[in-house]
Amino acid sequence: MEEEEEESRGSIGNDMEAEAPGIVIAGGGICGLATALALHRKGIASLVLEKSKTLRAEGAVIGVHANGWHVLEQLGVAAELRETAHAPITAFHDVRRQGNKITRDDQYPVRTEFRCLNRKDLIEALAKDLPAGAIRFGCQIAAVHEDPSSHGALLTMVDGTTIKAKALIGCEGTCSVVAKYLGLPPVRAIPRPVLRGFTRYPHGHPFEDEFLRLSVGEIFIGRFTLNENLVHFSVTMPDPPTELTRDPKKARGLALEDLQRLQCPAEIIDLVRESDPASLNVVTKLLYRPPWEVAFGGFQKGTVTIAGDAMHAMGPFIGQGGSAGLEDAVVLARALARAVGAGGEEMVGKAIAEYIRERRLRLARLSLESFVVGLVARSPSPVTTLACAAVSMLLGTRSHEHAKYDCGRL
């Protein structure tokens, strides 16, 4: 039933070649929907093309920092999301162990708003205020070409139909067809599976209310308490993915073997062992665009650009990928609204250039920070670790300077 409703919601204009009403957004994930909503709040129509048949919300929770909450405020959905969000996370705890020996134990407060949201709630909140027909589901873009009759783009779907777009924003994540059209190289992959899941403690969990990041040898565990009975965890496994790690229950078996071999604390082993099997999911590799590509990449051709992971995939290392995509949405919609207000399509290209100029430094810095944190996590070399620690210190990673950023009003 739900699927039928979702499909009919996006059933406008299924003809062989169609001209989109305004701006076309490729991909209806966090960034695509936030961009459509930001444009809608500014009175600008857009059409989201989403390859899935329904709204997608993979991965159970997402950590949203203060900069992301600022955007949700601007989009008018923060209040309702705070009601379903989990309690604020008030402390980080970084621990490094080698066997039974603890080589680092660093606990520090989080001074800005940082809460976990159910991804489903976030996606639904962003989609629900869009006008009927603003999202077209089951619509996978196969290729993008320049539209010879305008500065826009000609989109070819996998079923062979085409759509002309006066302006195109690629928000289709790490496998972006639009990024390819712009000439960007594919994102890079770190081939390490991440198992994620929830564990329920009917009589209350034994943990501090904090975000624990525990590194034991080559394995990384993230754990945050969502409420007194529910705990979310992630385990980044040491070896490249295999058929076994693609299956969440088998991946849990392998993760448990690694945790035992590396003498992880019993409470962590229990956390993973007792997890709800239905909540388990595996990301087989971590994808990122290197910071130098974010700093220097060509993100515009005429009235075509990109946003979100398509532009700056950064993996989970500083938990900023989603919030950075939300920021993109506000900055882009604000620039486009100014262009439309100034009266003309020819201004759209200029607005996109302005958006890229405004975002470039912020995103290069976030990408660098995430890259460096990810490198420390997987490099055994003391020289690399030292160099990365110096960069992290300069960027203020420990005090979450990145979360204090305010991208301004919509």
Q: Which residue is nearest to ligand FAD (CB)?
A: 29
Number of amino acids touching ligand FAD (CB under 6 A) = 34
Pattern 257-286, ligand FAD, x by CB under 6 A: --------------------------x--x
Least CB distance to ligand FAD at residue 33 (A): 8
Least CB distance to ligand FAD at residue 269 (A): 21
Q: Does the footprint of ligand FAD cover residue 306 (CB under 6 A)?
A: no
Candidate list 147, 258, 309, 358; residue touching ligand FAD; CB under 6 A: 309
Q: Does the footprint of ligand FAD cover residue 315 (CB under 6 A)?
A: yes
Candidate list 12, 80, 140, 161; residue touching ligand FAD; CB under 6 A: 140
CA 15, distance to chain mean position in Å, is: 32
Nearer to ligand FAD, 268 or 282 (CB): 282
Nearer to ligand FAD, 248 or 315 (CB): 315
Q: Does the footprint of ligand FAD cover residue 248 (CB under 6 A)?
A: no
Question: Distance between CA atoms of 58 and 311, rounded to whole angstroms?
Answer: 20
Least CB distance to ligand FAD at residue 367 (A): 11
Q: Does the footprint of ligand FAD cover residue 325 (CB under 6 A)?
A: yes
| Stretch 146-205 residues interacting with ligand FAD (CB under 6 A) | 171-173, 175, 177, 194
Nearer to ligand FAD, 158 or 394 (CB): 158
Nearer to ligand FAD, 311 or 339 (CB): 311
Nearer to ligand FAD, 315 or 374 (CB): 315
Nearer to ligand FAD, 311 or 348 (CB): 311
Least CB distance to ligand FAD at residue 36 (A): 11
Pattern 3-32, ligand FAD, x by CB under 6 A: -----------------------xxxxxxx
- Residue 34 CA: distances (Å) to CA of 30, 170, 346: 6, 13, 24
Least CB distance to ligand FAD at residue 52 (A): 5
Least CB distance to ligand FAD at residue 26 (A): 5
Q: Does the footprint of ligand FAD cover residue 320 (CB under 6 A)?
A: yes
CA angle 32, 33, 34 (to 5 degrees): 95
Q: Does the footprint of ligand FAD cover residue 388 (CB under 6 A)?
A: no
Pattern 43-82, ligand FAD, x by CB under 6 A: ------xxxx---x-----xx-------------------
One-letter-per-residue 3-state SS of the chain: CHHHHHHHHCCCCCCCEEECCCEEEECCCHHHHHHHHHHHHCCCCEEEECCCCCCCCCCCEEEECHHHHHHHHHCCCHHHHHHHCCCCCCEEEEEEEECCEEEEEEEEECCCCCEEEEHHHHHHHHHHCCCCCCEECCCCEEEEEECCCCCCEEEEECCCCEEEECEEEECCHHHCHHHHHCCCCCCEEECCCEEEEEEECCCCCCCCCCEEEEEECCEEEEEEECCCCEEEEEEECCCCCCHHHHCHHHHHHHHHHHHHHCCCCHHHHHHHHCCCHHHCEEECCEEECCHHHHHHCCCEECCEEECCHHHHCECCCCCCHHHHHHHHHHHHHHHHHHHHHCCCCHHHHHHHHHHHHHHHHHHHHHHHHHHHHHHHHHCCCHHHHHHHHHHHHHHCCCCCHHHHCCCCCC
Stretch that binds ligand FAD, among 103-111, 256-264, 274-282, 317-325 (CB under 6 A): 317-325
Q: Which residues contact 181 (CB under 8 A, 6 or more apart)?
A: 143, 144, 145, 153, 170, 301, 304
Q: Which residues bind ligand FAD (CB under 6 A)?
A: 26-32, 49-52, 56, 62-63, 140-141, 171-173, 175, 177, 194, 283, 286, 308-309, 315-316, 319-323, 325
